[in-house]
């Protein structure tokens, strides 16, 4: 079975531009989470979507937005890019089971460089 896939793998943008990152979850997984990983740090939670609804949001500005489609794939949008948005953006999918700790399965990430 295919794992979590993300596109593009790398991206270069300039300050002020907008970017859209894409994620396809593992087949059967209805939850998608997005994380930002700045070089040298652990990933930081941005959003989680479950059944096309936002389930949670981390401490990120409104420039960051996301959505989940009927096929459970997801997009992360970042507007008005800043140099500090340069990072590895990770997508994770999970199978939500009531009363159980859900394991998150991560994709390889999209590396964004803002110049």
Partner 1 sequence: DAKTTQPNSMESNEEEPVHLPCNHSTISGTDYIHWYRQLPSQGPEYVIHGLTSNVNNRMASLAIAEDRKSSTLILHRATLRDAAVYYCILRDLADYKLSFGAGTTVTVRA
- CA 32/CA 47 separation, integer angstroms: 8
Helix, coil or strand: residue 108: coil
36 binds partner 1 (CB under 8 A): no
Binding of partner 1 by 8 (CB under 8 A): no
Q: Is 31 in the site for partner 1 (CB under 8 A)?
A: yes
Asked if 33 interacts with partner 1 (CB under 8 A), we say: yes
In the bound state with partner 1, the residue whose beta carbon lies nearer, of 92 and 114, is 92
Listed residue (92, 78, 7) closest to 44, CA to CA: 92
Is 44 a residue that touches partner 1 (CB under 8 A)?
yes
Q: Residue 35 is encoded by which pair of tokens?
A: 């994380």
How many distinct helices (H) and strands (E) make up the chain? Answer: 0, 11
Contact region with partner 1 (CB under 8 A), list: 14-22, 66-74, 76-84, 99-107: 99-107
Please report, as residue ranges, which positions from 58 to 87 form the binding site for partner 1 (by CB under 8 A): 58
Task: For residue 25, state whether it binds partner 1 (rule: CB under 8 A).
Answer: no
Side-chain half-sphere of 71: how many Cα atoms within 13 Å?
A: 8
Supply 47's token pair: 């959003």
- Enumerate binding residues for partner 1 (CB under 8 A): 4, 31, 33, 35, 41-45, 48, 50, 55-56, 58, 90, 92, 99, 101-109
């Amino acid at each position: 079975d295919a794992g979590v896939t993300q596109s593009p793998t790398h991206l270069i943008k300039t300050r002020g531009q907008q970017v859209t990152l894409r994620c396809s979850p593992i087949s059967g997984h209805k939850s998608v989470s997005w994380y930002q990983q700045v070089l040298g740090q652990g990933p930081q939670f941005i959003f989680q979507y479950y059944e096309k609804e936002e389930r949670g949001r981390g401490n990120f500005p409104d420039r960051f937005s996301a959505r989940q489609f009927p096929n459970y794939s997801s997009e992360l949008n970042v507007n008005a890019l800043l140099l500090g948005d340069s990072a590895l953006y990770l997508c994770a999918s999970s199978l939500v089971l009531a009363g159980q700790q859900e394991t998150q399965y991560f994709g390889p990430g999209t590396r964004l460089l803002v110049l």
